[in-house]
Amino acid sequence: MEIQLRELIDQIKKDGVEAAENEAAAILEDARSQADRIIADARAQADKIVADAEAEKEKTVRTGEDAVRQAGRNLLISFRESVNRELNAIVGQAVSSVYSSEQLAQLVVKVVESWTQKPDADDLAVVMNTKDLEKLEENLMAALNDRLKSGVTLRANDNFDGGFRIAVDNGSVYYDYSCEAVVDMLSNYLSPRVTALLKEAE
């Protein structure tokens, strides 16, 4: 009886130890699985952080490059505008200089002589601002004496500063030789050439 009891106790101990070992093994396996999951999640998160940082870096580089390109374009546009302003100022000064001298009278005479040779140039009028007309009227009257007899008239109009206009068909059509119009025309002619030169320098 005592032997059977001992065997029973030994069996219980053995079964208990085996159960404990099995439970410990299961706990250990579960812990390992959880650790592997945590490590995998941590690696995935680290990879995402690195990928996001790389994408942000590339975006920053692209943004910086775009900003440099735009700044370069803005600088070139600003430079071209500055050159065009200077060109307009130089042309304007040159035209104003001619138009404020006695050369204006000679220019008006040549233009009128050219216009009066056209068969459809009836009722031709030279329009100038009052100040220029008063200053040049005597010279113009002398130089255009024959033309004035054939229907050319001198008129004052203060809607523009310097230069003159040729009016035909009772003033319904104007050919503008005013200071502003000539500066615009010359500047428009010169600007593409200046732009081409600037492009060659790029």
Query: Hey, what amino acid is at 4?
Result: Q
CA 7 to CA 1: how far, in whole Å?
Answer: 10
pTM above 0.75, yes or no: no
> Residue 3 to residues 15, 131, 175: CA-CA distances in angstroms?
18, 145, 138
At 5, the pLDDT band (50, 70, 90 cuts) reads: low
Averaged pLDDT of the chain: 76
For 113-157, the pLDDT digits (tens) are 887 777 666 678 888 888 888 877 777 777 777 776 667 778 888
Question: Domain spanning 102-201: which superfamily?
Answer: ATP synthase, E subunit, C-terminal (3.30.2320.30)
**Within 117-163, where are the H helices?**
130-143, 145-149
CB–CB of 163/181 below 8 Å? yes
What is the per-residue pLDDT for 15?
64
> Residue 65 to residues 54, 57, 68, 97, 153: CA-CA distances in angstroms?
16, 12, 5, 47, 64
- pLDDT surpassing 60 at residue 201: no
User: What share of the chain in percent tops pLDDT 70?
Assistant: 80
> Residue 81 to residues 19, 32, 86, 200: CA-CA distances in angstroms?
91, 72, 9, 17
For 73-109, the pLDDT digits (tens) are 887 777 777 777 777 777 777 777 777 767 788 888 8
